[in-house]
Chains A and B, each alone.
Chain A
């Protein structure tokens, strides 16, 4: 008899609903606040439809390329064990957590008119490279999002039990057979979600799209929102554009759900993964070439940020350390909050009797992907201003908003792991009548710890690098590091700003690596 999914009210469900409500209030509620504050009727301008069109087309191409390229990279990483692999995986994740302006200047140092490649071309009497335009936007978005796509796909591979590959080897399967029998179903399960996530990240892009897009052709919805706020002070239009962004997000999410097929959750016995099918030198050479090329693509701009930053480090004064401290505190608060929210949502979603509410709770956690940071910030400002001094709550609000912005990525990592625990250990734990804290501590936590470490690290690093809403609430004496960096640049201090950028990259990566290692440490 089919088990009917009846929602049962438990503390886990209540916590999950609470977390979902918080995210919904921050992302959708702030749109309502902005719309409510509007004086003029809500309507879109002529240029707004062009913005929608451009936003969709660049996001589709960027997301398609990022995920397509991530397949061979994740496959090569999943198949190979080598010294420094962990470090490489961490470093390859760096572009995703870079502050926009740092990443753009790093990219231009390689691909720009004054960059490395152009320098070589000019040396041989050729014209310098021109990347500005649609391809520039796509290049930058692939640079940012290929690491995330790789990481999301890699998680899919890592959920395949080692026994499957042992069995495949015993059956004499070739790499091609394994691809058909094991790897394709994994991709089928994870690719749509990864695609939708990256698509939405590219939808909400603004400064990257504008700078590399080469002009007003490259106007995205987020830029139109920005314009509505500061150029026209037309909050009705801003709210309408934000709603449009949400509808695109909803469309992408629905499509991803329909396409995704859940891979069979096979518990396995925890055997280490070994791949007997990849020992051929040719297959090895192929993987080495793929990993080499992607490392060069992702790490060369970072290396340029590092090189230019070293010169600027000497120009920094004590103010930068105070800003760094503030950013670290915000990042830690934000990461802790992300983890708490993700666990609450994950527990509600992964319950055996999650019922029909589960998809709603899970998608609520992803709402912030399609949210406009400008609208969230302004909405919160309108709400809080009558009651508190914005500067007094600047860091707390920044931590909260950053936490909600990182939540979708944390959920991507945690929810599959929590479902996995439920499917593997759930029956045994139930039969032992184990529940609550004991069950979480003894059964769930040991299994999800790596995913939790990764999610927390990612949230901390994203918070470090994000200018976020702090600029709207800022207290001039309490800048975070990204805001400090922007202030340096705004005061002609470009060399010092490169130093601050290097500091930001190193500290973000260090935070990420620390949590990631903590997750993977045994004991």
Chain B
């Protein structure tokens, strides 16, 4: 008897819970997998925003930034997404051209993104520098430029990601292009003997590096901070290159067809706030887009100086990509 009444009470609770949830509007945020995963910023962001929005924040995921854009393009004007979070500036020209995004109308304050920001459609939520990460206990002579890397003994091996299937891979392609322009094919030829292999995505490459397969891996300057803070392991470091480092700026935008445009605006404002931004360093392992009150967490290296930052504008990146890919393919296929 008791059990039945308990069950009834439970049922009633569940039903009433469901009905209040149904009354609240649902804000659909599309993002990449690792952002929404249990170890990423997603769950904490959801909790913090739901506390102030009187809404239900729901994440929908695609593999990574490029998969995310392809998904939104597939859905087109029928999309139920309000906000798309997780493209980078190498993708935003294509995203803007799709006509699926609306102006955000926000002027961000205290911006900490080197080079400033004036994109009317997209707002940055974090950023980082691509870099080759190595293990200090295994690699003794560390190259400090692409030319030094090319000149190193052939036994120094790196593993990189494929630009056709991975955003860091595309970042490296544009990094070499931004640093060397017409000389890029020459640099790739020099790097070729050191490239152990090319992987589909970051996970495979980083996994292979951690298992000791390669001496260096294409990742971010912030990767060592993960090992230091989360694993108390200070053996990893990022090699700082004289040419400067290509930036990845991750952005979010509001869909022109957003079912809840006002909520989407509210979310984008929240995204630029201290609350959201302070979650970024130790969950997404990138630099926050806004200067934090207490600075970066302990163990997070200060970013390299802004004058060492390399980046192409979204239009320039979009224009350079196909030719750069062809150069890369021909240099590495010989």
Interface residues of A, Cβ cutoff 8 Å to B: 37, 46-47, 50, 101, 104-105, 108-109, 112-114, 127, 132, 206-207, 210-217, 219, 223, 226-227, 229-231, 233, 317, 319, 378, 381-382, 385-386, 391, 471-472, 474-476, 486-494, 497
In the assembled complex, the CB of A87 is this many whole angstroms from the nearest CB of chain B, namely 29
Does chain A have a CB within 8 A of B207? yes
In the assembled complex, the CB of A50 is this many whole angstroms from the nearest CB of chain B, namely 8
Q: Which residues of A sit under 8 angstroms from B92, Cβ to Cβ?
A: none
Cα of A167 to Cα of B245 in the assembled complex, Å: 77
| Closest 9 pairs between A and B when the two form their complex, measured CB to CB | A114-B212, A489-B203, A491-B39, A227-B164, A490-B34, A476-B36, A230-B66, A487-B37, A476-B61
Q: Which of B59, B195, B207 has the most CB of A within 10 A?
A: B207
Q: Which residues of A sit under 8 angstroms from B70, Cβ to Cβ?
A: 229-230, 233
Q: Which of B316-334 contact A (CB under 8 A)?
A: 325-326, 328-329, 332-333
Q: Which residues of A sit under 8 angstroms from B332, Cβ to Cβ?
A: 215-217
Does chain A have a CB within 8 A of B8? no
Contact A385-B211, Cβ < 8 Å, known A210-B198, A216-B332, A471-B63: no
In the complex, the answer to whether B230 meets A492 with C-beta atoms within 8 Å is: yes
In the complex, the answer to whether B333 meets A217 with C-beta atoms within 8 Å is: yes
In the complex, the answer to whether A378 meets B206 with C-beta atoms within 8 Å is: no
Q: Which residues of A sit under 8 angstroms from B293, Cβ to Cβ?
A: none
In the complex, the answer to whether A476 meets B226 with C-beta atoms within 8 Å is: no
Contact A378-B200, Cβ < 8 Å, known A108-B208, A494-B210: no
In the complex, the answer to whether B200 meets A211 with C-beta atoms within 8 Å is: yes
Q: Which residues of B sit under 8 angstroms from A471, Cβ to Cβ?
A: 62-63
27 A–B contacts, CB within 8 A, in A order: A46-B326, A108-B213, A113-B212, A114-B212, A207-B200, A210-B199, A210-B200, A211-B199, A211-B200, A215-B195, A217-B332, A223-B162, A230-B69, A230-B165, A231-B66, A231-B165, A233-B69, A391-B60, A471-B62, A476-B60, A487-B38, A489-B206, A490-B37, A491-B37, A492-B206, A492-B230, A497-B207
Minimal Cβ-Cβ distance residue in B for A136? B197
Cα of A487 to Cα of B201 in the assembled complex, Å: 12
Q: Which of B72-80, B107-115, B246-254, B269-277 contacts A (4 or more CB under 8 A)?
A: B72-80
Does chain A have a CB within 8 A of B126? no
In the complex, the answer to whether A113 meets B59 with C-beta atoms within 8 Å is: no
Cα of A474 to Cα of B61 in the assembled complex, Å: 7
Does chain A have a CB within 8 A of B190? no
Interface residues on B, range: 35 or more
Q: Which residues of A sit under 8 angstroms from B197, Cβ to Cβ?
A: 132, 210-215
In the complex, the answer to whether A230 meets B67 with C-beta atoms within 8 Å is: yes
Cα of A217 to Cα of B328 in the assembled complex, Å: 11
- How many residue pairs between the two chains, A and B, have CB atoms under 8 Å in the bound complex? 146
Q: Which of B163, B208, B226 has the most CB of A within 10 A?
A: B208
Cα of A385 to Cα of B142 in the assembled complex, Å: 50
In the complex, the answer to whether A215 meets B165 with C-beta atoms within 8 Å is: no
In the assembled complex, the CB of A184 is this many whole angstroms from the nearest CB of chain B, namely 41
In the complex, the answer to whether A223 meets B285 with C-beta atoms within 8 Å is: no
6 additional contacts (CB under 8 A) given A231-B164, A494-B206: A101-B203, A132-B197, A211-B197, A215-B197, A229-B70, A233-B70
Interface residues of B, Cβ cutoff 8 Å to A: 33-34, 36-40, 42, 59-63, 66-67, 69-71, 73-75, 78, 94, 155, 157, 162-165, 192, 195-204, 206-208, 210-214, 223, 226, 230, 285, 325-326, 328-329, 332-333
Which of B38, B59, B203 lies in contact with A319, CB distance below 8 A?
B38
Minimal Cβ-Cβ distance residue in A for B75? A385
In the complex, the answer to whether A210 meets B162 with C-beta atoms within 8 Å is: yes
Minimal Cβ-Cβ distance residue in B for A224? B164
Contact A385-B207, Cβ < 8 Å, known A132-B196, A206-B200, A476-B42: no
Q: Which residues of A sit under 8 angstroms from B67, Cβ to Cβ?
A: 230
Q: Which residues of A sit under 8 angstroms from B204, Cβ to Cβ?
A: 101, 104, 207, 211, 489
In the assembled complex, the CB of A107 is this many whole angstroms from the nearest CB of chain B, namely 11
In the complex, the answer to whether B285 meets A492 with C-beta atoms within 8 Å is: yes
In the complex, the answer to whether A382 meets B328 with C-beta atoms within 8 Å is: no
In the complex, the answer to whether A386 meets B210 with C-beta atoms within 8 Å is: no
In the complex, the answer to whether B200 meets A109 with C-beta atoms within 8 Å is: no
Contact A487-B66, Cβ < 8 Å, known A113-B196, A214-B195: no
Minimal Cβ-Cβ distance residue in B for A467? B63
Q: Which residues of A sit under 8 angstroms from B285, Cβ to Cβ?
A: 492
Q: Which residues of B sit under 8 angstroms from A492, Cβ to Cβ?
A: 39, 206, 223, 226, 230, 285
Cα of A301 to Cα of B218 in the assembled complex, Å: 26
In the complex, the answer to whether B198 meets A216 with C-beta atoms within 8 Å is: yes
Minimal Cβ-Cβ distance residue in B for A212? B197
Minimal Cβ-Cβ distance residue in B for A382? B74
In the complex, the answer to whether A215 meets B207 with C-beta atoms within 8 Å is: no
In the assembled complex, the CB of B73 is this many whole angstroms from the nearest CB of chain A, namely 6
Contact A114-B213, Cβ < 8 Å, known A215-B333, A492-B230, A497-B207: yes
In the complex, the answer to whether A493 meets B39 with C-beta atoms within 8 Å is: yes
Minimal Cβ-Cβ distance residue in B for A489? B203
In the complex, the answer to whether B164 meets A214 with C-beta atoms within 8 Å is: no
Minimal Cβ-Cβ distance residue in A for B211? A114
Contact A105-B34, Cβ < 8 Å, known A210-B200, A216-B332: no
Contact A216-B207, Cβ < 8 Å, known A206-B200, A211-B199, A476-B42: no
Contact A109-B333, Cβ < 8 Å, known A132-B196, A382-B74, A492-B230: no
Minimal Cβ-Cβ distance residue in B for A496? B39
Minimal Cβ-Cβ distance residue in A for B138? A114
Contact A113-B164, Cβ < 8 Å, known A213-B197, A476-B61: no
Cα of A133 to Cα of B62 in the assembled complex, Å: 31
In the complex, the answer to whether B214 meets A226 with C-beta atoms within 8 Å is: no
Minimal Cβ-Cβ distance residue in A for B61? A476
Q: Which residues of B sit under 8 angstroms from A319, Cβ to Cβ?
A: 38
Q: Which residues of B sit under 8 angstroms from A486, Cβ to Cβ?
A: 33, 203
Q: Which residues of A sit under 8 angstroms from B164, Cβ to Cβ?
A: 223, 226-227, 231
Q: Which residues of A sit under 8 angstroms from B208, Cβ to Cβ?
A: 105, 108, 112, 211
In the assembled complex, the CB of B227 is this many whole angstroms from the nearest CB of chain A, namely 8
Q: Which residues of A sit under 8 angstroms from B192, Cβ to Cβ?
A: 215
Cα of A497 to Cα of B164 in the assembled complex, Å: 25
In the complex, the answer to whether A105 meets B165 with C-beta atoms within 8 Å is: no
